[in-house]
Amino acid sequence: MDEQSPLLDLCLHLSILSMMAVGGGLVMMAPDISHFVVTEKHWVSSAQFASAYAIAQAAPGPNLLFISLVGWLIAGWTGAILTTLAVIIPSTILTLSVISLKASNFNNRLTAAVRDTFAPISIGFLLATAFLFTQVETASWGTDVVTVLTAIIVLRSKLNPVLLIAAGATAGMLHLI
């Protein structure tokens, strides 16, 4: 039996994940997508995945751009376009469906329960994403320290995260980490 194409396999995987990622796509999807394309399928290296993630974070626009870059690494422009659509279309349909249900007297307690459920899940996926990027082959103890310090500063202060990103980039350029 023929194995299905990598692009189709990735798009199906992303479509399913996108249904969980409404409102927090990047945070919720990065660890699973990394596991799928790096560890399970070996389509890209962990360094390539981390680079795609970093480029998408540095670029203006939606955070899900890293998915387009991963699609591009696997299947060129066709991969970039189809993986982007695989993420956008299912979650958009889900969001529009929930909005229409809420508009037609959706039970407010149910809305609160869904919101209260997604908050801890999002935090858990955020922590999983941070852990994932400390596991890249090029990571060192210095990058682990920077990750932990950044998390502490973000949680305990009102410092703009862009300043922390700039500080991390500067430390990397100076080969301090």
Residue 12 lies in a domain: yes
**Which residue, among 86, 78, 67, has the nearest Cα to 26 in the 3D structure?**
67
Residue 76 lies in a domain: yes
Residue 72 lies in a domain: yes
Task: Check: CB of residue 130 under 8 Å from CB of residue 147.
Answer: yes
Q: How many domains does the chain have?
A: 1
Q: 109-156: per-residue pLDDT in tens?
A: 776 777 677 777 767 777 777 777 666 656 677 777 777 888 788 888
* Cβ count near 23 (within 10 Å): 11
Residue 146 lies in a domain: no
Q: What's the predicted TM-score (pTM) here?
A: 0.61
Range of the domain at 29: 6-116
CA distance 112 to 114: 5
Please count the CA atoms within 13 angstroms of the CA of 25 that sit on its side-chain side: 24
Q: 7-20: per-residue pLDDT in tens?
A: 899 999 988 888 77
Q: 86-117: per-residue pLDDT in tens?
A: 988 988 887 787 777 665 555 667 767 776 77
